[in-house]
Structure 1
Amino acid sequence: MTPRGVLHPDEHEPIVDVATHEPSAPAVPFVEFYWHVRWHVQTPYDTKVLAHPNIHLVFEEPEPLVYGVDRGLFVRRLEETGQVLGIKFRPGGFRPFTDQPMSALADRRIPATEFFGEEILATSKAILSSKDLATPAEAFLLPRLPKTPDPVAQDVATMVDRMTTAPNLFRVDQAAGELNVSVRTLQRLFSEYVGASPKWVLRRARLHEAAARADQGTTIDWAALAADLGYSDQAHLTRDFTAAVGTPPATYARR
């Protein structure tokens, strides 16, 4: 099943195979899941994703990379045949590997050697040549995880989960009240541990839902959907969607 956030999943599914693997118990406080993507295309294909508020360590050619939260539209060109293995960290889960706030990694693709040293290069090649890619990836990660998870990071992950799943949270002040913190505290925590602002997280969750509805192929009452998602009107939804995806939602749905 194509993950939420991947645009035009009906185009994506025939040429891209996506599998996910659950982390073992010691990795659960830090890792949401491992993902393995394989593709075979006759002509180059641009996969487009409305990314989530997560940081990823990706084992790929020519070198492994750390992907900060992509606050725009993530685009990856797929050519011929290939595969990658990614570790999707929970919000705050990557914080132990750097002295920088997660906001410093936003919209960047950084060589993984900056965080894990040169040894990760050989590890990446071994992972990509193995049959079960997730197992050696976790074997590399586990010894590098802190023995005790950061309780603040765990709290922040819970906050992000609440903000992205609650159907009635649309504004930052509303979310701060629900989470029993001040707006300023929420903003500070998200800069330090997430890599995107609370406003972005709330908006991105709404856009994920709008794209998912559009991909169903059914007739959509855009004004009603805008109201359901907490927008002031349909025009507001259209502006947000167009800015993120590059096309108005009704046009996207007709493709």
Structure 2
Amino acid sequence: MSLRRPPLPALRPFVELVWASELPPPVRPVPRRERVLPTGALHPVFRLGETPLRLFRDLDDAVGEAVGCALVGGARASPYLKDLSRPEPSVGALLRPGAAAALLGVPAAPLSHTHTPLGLLWGEAAVEDLRGRLAEAPTAAARLALFERLLLARLAPRRGLDPLVAEALTGLHRLRPVARVAREAGVSQRHLARVFGEAVGLTPRTWGRMLRFGRTLERLSADPALPLADLAAAEGFADQAHLTREFRDLAGLTPGAYRRAAPRESRHVPI
């Protein structure tokens, strides 16, 4: 069971959603994996048992790598493969673009495309203390409320979003080309890419691709029978072939393979 919701109002400029999961009923462990599709955002996660998160390089990797129990998943534009065979109660958050400095104490760029132990950012002793306190909470709802208080305590609002980055995000959400976004902000594309990439973890062009990919996933999840040619036209792809290439590049599989997998959650594809 998973509980997901918007955060407390004080966190909403920095956090899009928070979530907590319960341990499923005991069953015989069966090796399972999933392909986690990128959001382009950062997400801090605490696993509250003793089993660390295990990731795999590719489908042929039978062993994988244990990467820890308290992590920050960095901004990325590619999927990763995750072990599901030994689930643990967890709690986490999806950060808004540019919020890394305020909540994690570092910009997004050094955390991109990888999973970073939270202990490297907040200190090992502090992270283990937080993990212990979260594990003692009796329910997912109680853990979520405690997690929000912990995030508020860590928040440094003076390290807010750079106005240039905020303006660029608004323009990209309005589907404006990067060249126009830079021109309207009065800066060069190179300068915009440097400042935006440091704060968000991806370039403006890649972030724009992630926005369109997210809209595409939402449409495909809401209407799995939607013809791909219609989907491509609705989301501004040149044609169906362009949609397929972009989907394969960002998701690691074709739209057809995504449909056949029939994921319960749009970005968590069972393997």
Give the TM-score range, shorter chain: 0.7 to 0.9
Contact 1:48-1:73 at 8 Å conserved across structures? yes
Matched, 1:114 2:117: no
- Percent of aligned positions that are identical: 28
**Aligned pair partner of 1:156 in 161, 165, 168:** 165
Report how far residue 191 of structure 1 moved.
1.2
| Range that drifts further, 215-224 or 172-181 | 172-181
Residue correspondence of structure 1 range 23-102 to structure 2 within 5 A: 23-38=7-22, 40=24, 43-60=30-47, 61=49, 62=52, 63-96=69-102, 97-99=104-106, 101-102=107-108
Counterpart of 2:212 in structure 1 is 206
Alpha-carbon distance in 2 for matches of 1:75, 1:148: 36
Counterpart of 1:5 in structure 2 is none
**Aligned pair partner of 1:140 in 136, 150, 170:** 150
Report how far residue 180 of structure 1 moved.
6.2
Alpha-carbon distance in 2 for matches of 1:147, 1:247: 39
Counterpart of 1:249 in structure 2 is 255
| Range that drifts further, 69-78 or 109-118 | 69-78
The alignment yields a C-alpha RMSD, in angstroms, of 2.8
Report how far residue 195 of structure 1 moved.
0.4
Amino acid of the structure 2 residue aligned with 1:160: L
Alpha-carbon distance in 2 for matches of 1:84, 1:103: 25
Contact 1:35-1:86 at 8 Å conserved across structures? yes
**Aligned pair partner of 2:203 in 197, 200, 210:** 197
- TM-score, structure 1 as length reference: 0.78
Helix, strand or coil at the partner of 2:90: strand
Amino acid of the structure 2 residue aligned with 1:76: K
Alpha-carbon distance in 2 for matches of 1:84, 1:157: 31
Counterpart of 2:246 in structure 1 is 240
Query: 1 or 2 for the larger relative contact order (CA 8 Å, sep ≥6)?
Result: 2
- Cα distance 1:251–1:31, how it changes in 2: closer, same or farther (>3 A)? closer
Number of aligned positions between the proteins: 234
Alpha-carbon distance in 2 for matches of 1:232, 1:217: 21
Alpha-carbon distance in 1 for matches of 2:181, 2:46: 35
- Cα distance 1:31–1:247, how it changes in 2: closer, same or farther (>3 A)? closer
- Cα distance 1:159–1:25, how it changes in 2: closer, same or farther (>3 A)? same
Amino acid of the structure 1 residue aligned with 2:150: F
**Aligned pair partner of 2:131 in 124, 135, 141:** 124
Alpha-carbon distance in 1 for matches of 2:150, 2:31: 32
- TM-score, structure 2 as length reference: 0.73
Q: Structure 2: give runs of 5+ residues left out of the alignment.
A: 53-68, 262-271
